[in-house]
Structure 1
Amino acid sequence: MTTPSITLFHNPACSTSRQVLAMIRDAGFEPQVVEYLKTPYTREQLSSLLQAMGLGPRAVLRTKGDLAGELGLDRPGVDDETLLQAMVAHPVLVERPIVVTPLGTRLCRPKERVLEVLPSRA
């Protein structure tokens, strides 16, 4: 039996992200961990993740903290392309964690959403 590929876009400073990592490991999997603040998203990668989740950029815009406001991204009417470009330039603006498995891609907020895409262990 092969181990399914699981990728966690992770920020180790985020308690939810750390808890999701622990939940994946507790389920018996070792994910590929991408610390996206060290290895930022490409535009294509972030677009692909958003499409896989069925979400637009505003749905994953992290407004906690000052940066989104300082950049004027929290205002209504900011278009998706502007949001996407800002998220690529400033990956801290992307909510976390995002988990990719063969069963789907989820923004795991709340952390229990990871259970929706974790394969079962046979």
Structure 2
Amino acid sequence: MFALKRAPQYQSQTCGEGRTVFVAIFARMVVVPAVMLPVMAILAKFDFHDVFEDPVFVVANVLLIASPPALTLAQITQAASNNSFERLISRTVFWSYCVVTPPSTILVVVLGLLIAKL
């Protein structure tokens, strides 16, 4: 007789989150280093400036190039409907900082040391 009300479905809100997180991390931690690290290597190889002789400068720049996506406090604290934005930011932070950053940092530091000729 009485129709039971179902709990609201949240699948439509989380449908594209995985793809969004993947694209954000891929763009910032794979595409940008793939474009900028060769430029950095060329500048260091041909001693474009005296500062490229400093291995600490080279490694620090390589780490900055391959760093995880920056998330501002305004983005993290912005309120959205049904907490979907907060969930997206927290997933991006988890995957980029906890899963992808440790191995990519080791790889990038080794590349930076190779570029700096150490």
TM-score (norm 1): 0.22
- Answer with 1 or 2: which has the greater Rg: 2
Whose helix fraction is larger, Structure 1's or Structure 2's? 2
Which one has the bigger strand percentage? 1
- TM-score normalised to structure 2 length: 0.23
